[in-house]
Amino acid sequence: MYLKIDKRKDMKMLNKLKNINLVLLALVVLGFASCKKGSPNIIGGTGAPTIASVHTVSKTAVDSSRTSSVTTYNSSGVPTTTTSPNLTPQTLPFDSTTMTGKGGNLYRIIGTNLGSVTSVTVNGISAYFNLALASDNSVIFTVPTTAPFGPGQSGKLVLTTLHGSVTYNFTILQPPPAITSFAPVAGSPGDTITINGSVLDNATSVKFGTVAAKIVANTTSQIKVLLPAGVVQAFITVTTAGGSSTSASSFGYKYIVYDDALAKGWGGNGGGYSGYNSVLNFTNTTQVERGTNSIAVTFTNSYGALQIGYGGSTPVNVATLGLKALKFFVYGGAGIKTGDKLQVVINGNYGGYTVVMTAGAYVSYTVPLSSLGNPTTITEIVIQNQGSALQSVIYVDDIGFI
């Protein structure tokens, strides 16, 4: 007796079994996926969430225990090690209950039924939190840098879970201000100076050095102030509820030739020269723009001038000092009519730039070095009469470069 085998039927049966296995596998995968999608990540309690307290997680500060060592070797190979405090700010562990926070800082919420947290908001702005670090009693979040602060804020922290929401009083403090630029870079008393930056809201003080300025306009990105008297060169400091910030560069002159006296090396103060068909008084006390003295210049010739030469040992290098323009103040005194002109000359490059005077008033002039021959060093400054009546008088104050 022989058993007849039909190979074609067997192959069909194997293919059917294979297809059934594939379908079963697909159903299992879909079942897992469906289960994962439809089942929320519930951790811990299912009751309404509560907040008992909020804690700081870290702070940036100088760790006084940290030091830095530098070892140097002399020509004989003998080492010398110098140890000094490391003043670089570090992120340090810090845990303290708080009801206030600042943008960008980490905080921990302590409470109950927090495991299924779905959102944390601060003054209506979503805060970042890592669900992997959450537990039923703790959630760590970062205060968003865009969270509102100031009198108009709601002062509320809201945590929402799958089972409800809880609100906690939490005030956002104003971050420190930052100054990015200001314009103009120099000015006369009473001029409007615009300070640009960030978090400049509600400025309580703006100072040029130690001299306070009047604030006339204030937004989060800009402050306008009136330049106070007595400022030649000074760093600008802005103070708000969040702290103080000082400008990286100074307002005013980068290089002074004359404020209340000639700088070393200029005119008769250390090797230079001065005067050209004129009588000069470098310690004049009348018609002073700022400080106690100005230069009185009496023209005794049609081409009389305030001429000041430099004879110092260190060159006044334009590129090294970053000089862009000559700045000075002129008062039209006796014999000067409004509209009379002065020629401004650097290093003997005549025929260049003229300015117009006002009788009985100081006027500030800023002349780009590009209009004065683009000098690489400064060796002489000339402010020359251009047709004013003879024996006329001008007063010049605060000469320098910006």
pLDDT for position 61: 47
pLDDT digits (tens, 9 = 90+) for 140-182: 999 998 899 887 889 999 999 999 999 999 999 998 899 999 9
21 pLDDT more than 70: no
CATH number, domain containing residue 164 = 2.60.40.10
pLDDT tens per residue across span 283-332 = 999 999 888 999 999 999 989 999 999 999 999 999 999 899 999 999 99
**How many CB atoms are located within 10 Å of the residue 47 CB?**
11
150 and 241 both lie in a single domain = no
358 and 308 in a single domain? The answer is: yes
Same domain, 279 and 386: yes
Same domain, 152 and 194: no
Rounded-to-integer distance, Cα 139 and Cα 208, Å: 45
Residue 141 CB coordination number (10 Å): 27
Burial of 396 (0-12, 13-18, 19+ CB in 10 A): buried
Planar angle of CA 54, 55, 59, nearest 5 degrees: 140
Which pLDDT belongs to residue 326? 94
Count the domains in the chain: 3
Q: Verify that 159 and 210 share a domain, yes or no.
A: no
Task: Give a yes or no: residue 13 inside a domain.
Answer: no
Max Cα-Cα span within the chain: 148
Q: Is 270 left (phi over 0), alpha (psi -120 to 50) or beta?
A: left
Give the DSSP per-residue string, 41-64.
---S--S--EEEEEEE-EEEE--T
Based on the fold, state whether residues 313 and 357 are members of the same structural domain.
yes
Shared domain for 160 and 182, answered yes or no, is: no
Same domain, 163 and 200: no
Q: Tell the burial category of 383 from Cβ atoms under 10 Å away from its Cβ (0-12, 13-18, 19+).
A: buried
The verdict on residue 160 lying in a domain is yes
Q: Is residue 14 situated within a structural domain?
A: no
What is the pLDDT averaged over residues 193-201?
95
pTM: 0.60
Identify whether the C-beta of residue 142 lies closer than 8 Å to the C-beta of residue 105: yes
Convert the pLDDT of each residue in 249-291 to its tens digit.
889 898 999 989 999 999 999 889 998 999 999 999 999 988 8
**SS3 assignment, position 113:** coil
Q: Which residue has the higher pLDDT, 333 or 75?
A: 333
Q: Where residue 43 falls among pLDDT bands split at 50, 70, 90?
A: low
Structural domain range at position 152: 50-62+84-172
